[in-house]
Structure 1
Amino acid sequence: MNAAQAANTMKGVFMRTIVQKSYRKAFAILLAVFVALAMVPGTAQAASYTPVQPDTTGAITITGISAGDTVKAYRIVETTYNKTANTLTSAFPAGSNFGITFADYSKLASDSAGMKAAADKIAAVATGVGGLTPATVTATSAEATFTNLAMGQYLIAVSPQASSGVVFQNTIVSLVPAANVDNTYTLTDATIEIKSSKVTIDKKADGKDQVDEYALGDVIPFTITATVPSYPENATNTKFVIGDTLSGGLTFKKDVTVKIGTGNEALPANAFTLVQNDDGFTYTLKDYSLIKQYAGQNITLTYSATVNEAANVTNPETNTAKIEFANNPYDSNSSDIITDKVVVTTYGVYLLKVDGSNQTKLSGAEFTLYKEDAGGIAVAGITPPVRAVKVMATGADGIAQCDDLGIGTYYLKETKAPAGYLLSDTVTTVTFTANTVESTGALAKYYNAGTITNAKTPLLPQTGGEGTLTLTLSGLILITTAAGLAVWSHRKRKGL
């Protein structure tokens, strides 16, 4: 390589180095500009919000409710925007006394126990007589929305629709502007789910919603399981009454016992009052403070009733228990009623009693109805041990019937015959299952045990009949013969 070529090579290397350094420097400058631009709010970001004005309003959407619930929003904190000073000020409404200073209230964290207690205090005043005037919405779905609300904080109070079994928690929602990076304020609409506690009732007969295995004289065990409601510490309405009125076919045994909580504990004697009547009971809360620790847990009442002769086959015994409770803990006129029922179904049996020779319908016959019972007695003609359930008597139509039977096997045996008839030794077996075929006509839903006949009692010969004449002639012959023998014997002794 000569001197000229070497010089050109060195020149090329030098130029490439300069270009590469220029590229790197240019890339670094562009990167710095890009980062700087990214950190500066642009016109698009500034346009994403609208700064508040003194008259700016917003909306609050409430969820966790049901169609038909009445929702009220009380403005408990008034927030004001001063446009000139570009400042926000907040305070309780003038003249209000919520039992807490605004300074102390402002220090409370959202969803804290202190905030919940404050909400309860404020609710007692704001929703009471002479309190604040709320905005009101009736929900048409699972949510409700308030619009055109002035800036501030709102207490949300929900009055549930009837028979919903719900007690809603007092909730405070903030509709206060937030500061932006450019020292303006923006108001954002709020959405909140209202918390609630559910009051429930569940009545069972022998652990079931429907029973059909109990007959006349049987004792049915019942339970009512109810949820203890959750009321605020300062609630003025804590009504909670559990009651049951039994139907006519059941005789109440007045034996209510009560347990509470997961450990089935006995309740303090002065927490409730119990009134037991002939047909049912009421169990009324006296002092909520004695059971408040069980809020959300169960209270269980057990009792029993006996099936009586008023039980009706065609009209099952429908027994409904109820709870009446305060669904607004600050309104003494506010309450709700929820119910639950059980059905006691009984079966019936009937038979027809007739003369075995001419099918004449017979009254005055009595049949004893027996039911299988391992601890029962022995009865002639019936194999298993049984107990007597009922005595059925036939009327002028020859029909005897019974309405008060549960599923199982029964035996019908005549224990008194109609006058002038022999007692039948027929034993009729009747079995009821859940699918027992019903009869038709006037005795629909009764089991037809069939027709049972009787034979007449053999009669003595009647006066003036052939039997009487035969006996009379026989008697005269015997008398005459006896008289003749007596005369002959007398004359023989005299030697005549």
Structure 2
Amino acid sequence: MFNRLKAVRAIAAAAAVAMLGSLAVTAPAMAEETVTPLTPDATGTITIDNVEAGVHATAYKIAKVNVDGKTNTPLDPEFTWDESVASWVRAKYRSYISDANAVSDVFQQMPSDTDGLEKTEDGQNTGNATKLATFYDDLTSAIANGDTPATPDAAEQTATGDTLTFENLPLGDYLVLLKNTDTGDSLTNGTTVYRPIGVAIQPEWNEKTKVWTVKNATATAKRSNASIDKSINEDAKDHISGEDAKDAGSDTVAIGDEVTFDLRSDVPVFPANAVEKNYMIADAMGTELTLNEGSIKVWGYEGAKFGNAHDEDTPVPADAYTLTVNGKDLDGKDATFTLNFDYEKIRKWDYIHVQYTATVNENAKVDTAIDNTAKLQYTNNPYEQDSHTTIPDKVKVYTYGIKVLKVGVVDGVEKGALTGAEFSLRVNDKSAPIAFVKVGDAKDGHYRKATAEDKAESTVTNLVVGETEDTKGRLTLDGLDKGKYQLVEEKAPADYNKLSAPIDVTIEAERDRGEFTGKVVNQTSGYWDGTVTNRKGRLPNTGSIGTTVFTVGGILLVAAGISIVARKRRS
């Protein structure tokens, strides 16, 4: 770790297994630093960039630098392990410690860790975490679990921007642990998984001044982030699916329709010795949706997160996750289903892809969005128990309806709402009537579209308008998709003419920047709203009232004449 002839190494520890991902970057200081002469009491700084504001950092001093107080030059041994970790190093990494707890040449001569992966002779990654990365990961876990003789002395700092700096630190080797602040709400906890950093403030020979000085440390934190993306009916057209867009995606449905959902989430990179490696996908559907349990499929894949065809994904083995229907997520909140993954069995993939279907049920309401929220929950402070963050993504669907008011007109004068009318609803003049189920009071004229689970005896196709004081003449139909329909009058109110042709109804769904709003175009709600008029069942009269009287009188006189003529002929 120590090398006074080279720039400071920033070692980001990570998992010591294949395909763990890049871990650290050595970043020598870019700006000229103030030169600090070397003394036994000299101090220096550690600067770490690539962090998020609010991240809490702890710098544990795990080794010290030995300086001669008379000559202000490094002693031999130059570096010794701190008593708090020395026995642990001796037990676990014997070749890294020499007599008198000195840091061994084996450790000092290890190559700098630029990306957390071992290299082949031609400079290619082997996919295995470097020995340095493994060491710092293992030591961090030991400190977290209390497996070291004591907790090393530490300094603490909180980032206010994308860089944090420790100042006035004694010379030595430091293990820096970056931690997301626990807000008490996993939805607002940090989403970044940081790996521990090994970095040293150490002596450096200044060739220009010919004296020993203090070399400050600068490192770039290595981290991984994860997110989840939820989409709806990806393979269908004429809507926004929500793919690769946060809290976007909407579609229109009818009761009984099957809806397809896709979830894609990143697999974060956890250090091999992390205390916890929780990784869960939870899905919470509205009560208006019924999960089709047998439809759940889980794949793993690499490469681009989006645009990957399903047949190119690899099915995730069933023993790599636990599926729970109607369970709880990591926050103890209700979930329609959860997939709790065994991280070690999915770490080889970049992403997880989940697909399933759900059916719109009888609980669907017009003017109410049917929400479906997916959550990715994973450990965000890998060296702590019960630490996780939650990342949600939501899509929604809407259903629509038809409202009709039946009124009567006599001699051009509207006579108000009429009862007794019956209608059927069809897609077109060649289709069968759509089946509905009565909603609420038997006489209020309210129906919703029937589902496959509704018993035949409970469904109707003749839809009777309301008869109560509040619903007289009104017909309300719920649970329809957008599109064209025909409303056919099957029975007219008593003493009124029955309509001879169907009424064309078009439910045109309103959009806002491509997303459905749940309203019908030119309406204030999700209903197509119209009035259907019936006229009195009689022929119209002509002439004035006087003419009518004389006409009737003339008819009577003619009838009397015919009677007289007939009698004369018989006599």
Q: Deviations over 1:213-268 (max 9, x none)?
A: 32222111001101112112222201111011101222222221111113411112
What secondary structure, in the 3-state scheme, does the structure 2 residue paired with 1:176 have?
strand
Hey, what does 2:67 align to over in structure 1?
Answer: 81
Q: Check conservation: 1:125, 1:131, Cα contact below 8 A.
A: no
Amino acid at match of 1:344: V
Following TM superposition, by how much is the alpha carbon of 1:361 offset from its aligned partner in structure 2, in angstroms? 2.6
Q: Are 2:341 and 1:289 aligned? A: no
Deviation of 1:327 (Å)? 0.9
- The answer on whether the counterparts of 2:497 and 2:534 sit within 8 Å (CA) in structure 1 is no
User: How many residue pairs align between the two structures?
Assistant: 397
Check whether the contact 2:274–2:382 (CA below 8 A) recurs between aligned residues: yes
1:429 paired residue among 477, 501, 504: 504
Q: Alignment identity in percent?
A: 31
Amino acid at match of 2:230: K
Distance 2:264 2:222 in 1: 23
Point out where structure 2 has 5 or more consecutive residues left out of the alignment. 1-32, 97-103, 119-129, 182-187, 235-240, 243-248, 303-311, 328-334, 435-447, 451-460, 512-519, 539-571
Tell me, in whole angstroms, the C-alpha distance in 2 between the residues paired with 1:298 and 1:334: 22
Closer, same or farther in 2 for the Cα pair 1:91/1:430, shift >3 Å?
Answer: farther
CA distance in 2 between counterparts of 1:191 and 1:151 reads 14
Contact 1:430 1:449 in 2 (8 A): no
Match of 1:184 in 2: 211
Matches within 5 A, 1:112-131: 112=118, 113-129=130-146, 131=151
Distance 1:299 1:146, change over 3 A: same
Deviation at 1:393, TM superposition (A): 4.9
1:93 aligns with 2:98: no
Distance in 2 (CA, whole Å) between partners of 1:309 and 1:110 is 63
Cα displacement (A) at 1:365: 4.7
**Distance in 1 of aligned mates of 2:58 and 2:406:** 72
Instruction: Give the residue type in structure 2 aligned to 1:108.
Output: M
- Residue 138 (structure 1) aligns with: 158
Kindly state the Cα deviation for residue 123 of structure 1 after the two structures are TM-superposed.
Answer: 1.2
Structure 1: gaps (5+ residues) = 1-46, 381-387, 458-496
Q: List per-residue Cα deviations over 1:41-65 (Å, max 9, x = no partner).
A: xxxxxx9833211111111122111
Residues 321-332 of structure 1 correspond to what in structure 2 (within 5 A)?
321-332=374-385
Q: How many angstroms does 1:420 deviate by?
A: 8.1
Q: Distance in 2 between matches of 1:164 and 1:364?
A: 63
- Counterpart among 161, 185, 204 of residue 231 in structure 2: 204
Q: SS of the counterpart of 1:293?
A: coil
Are the counterparts in 1 of residues 179 and 194 from structure 2 also a CA contact under 8 Å? Answer: yes
Of 45, 54, 57, the residue aligned with 2:40 is: 54
Per-residue CA deviation, residues 107-143 of structure 1 (Å, 9 max, x unaligned), is: 4222151111112111112344463353222221111
1:441-480 to 2 correspondences below 5 Å: 444-453=525-534
Compared with structure 1, are the counterparts of its residues 453 and 310 closer, same or farther at alpha carbon in structure 2 (3 Å cutoff)? Answer: farther
TM-align CA RMSD: 3.2
The corresponding residue for 1:69 is 55
Indicate how the Cα distance of structure 1 residues 144 and 403 shifts in structure 2: closer, same or farther if over 3 A, else same.
Answer: farther
User: More deviation in 268-277 or 351-360?
Assistant: 351-360
Deviation, structure 1 residue 144? 1.3
CA contact (8 A) 1:56 1:150 kept: yes
The 3-state SS of whatever aligns with 1:212 is strand
Larger Rg computed on CA atoms: 1
Pair 165,354 (structure 1): closer, same or farther in 2 beyond 3 Å: same
User: TM (normalized to structure 2)?
Assistant: 0.63
Cα distance in 2 for partners of 1:183, 1:314 equals 80
Are the counterparts in 2 of residues 212 and 407 from structure 1 also a CA contact under 8 Å? no
Q: Say if 2:293 is the partner of 1:259.
A: no
> Taking structure 1 as reference, are residues 251 and 152 closer, same or farther at Cα in structure 2, changes over 3 Å only?
same
Give the 3 Å change call, closer, same or farther, for CA 359–269 of structure 1 in structure 2.
same
- Quote the Cα distance in structure 2 between the aligned partners of 1:365 and 1:109: 88
Secondary structure at the aligned position of 2:215 is classed as coil
Code of the residue aligned with 1:264 in structure 2: it is: D
In the alignment, the residues of structure 2 paired with residue 79 and residue 174 of structure 1 have an alpha-carbon distance, to the nearest angstrom, of: 10
| 1:7-18 pair list within 5 angstroms | none
Q: Is the 8 A contact 1:62 1:145 kept in 2?
A: yes
1:359 Cα deviation after fit: 3.5
The counterpart of 1:151, out of the listed 133, 151, 171, is 171
Report the counterpart of residue 23 of structure 1 in structure 2: none
The Cα of 1:322 is off from its aligned counterpart by 0.3
C-alpha spacing 1:247/1:183, structure 2 compared with 1 (3 Å):
same
Give the whole-Å Cα distance in 2 for the aligned partners of 1:191 and 1:90: 20
Q: 2:286 matched to 1:240?
A: no
Task: Give the helix-richer structure, 1 or 2.
Answer: 1
Q: In the alignment, which residue of structure 2 is the partner of 1:492?
A: none
For residues 418 and 252 of structure 1, the distance between their equivalents in structure 2, rounded to whole angstroms, comes to: 43
In structure 2, C-alpha distance between the alignment counterparts of 1:131 and 1:418, rounded to whole Å: 88
Q: 1:120 to 1:430 in 2, by over 3 A?
A: same
Q: Partner of 2:351 in structure 1?
A: 298
The secondary structure found in structure 2 opposite 1:187 is strand
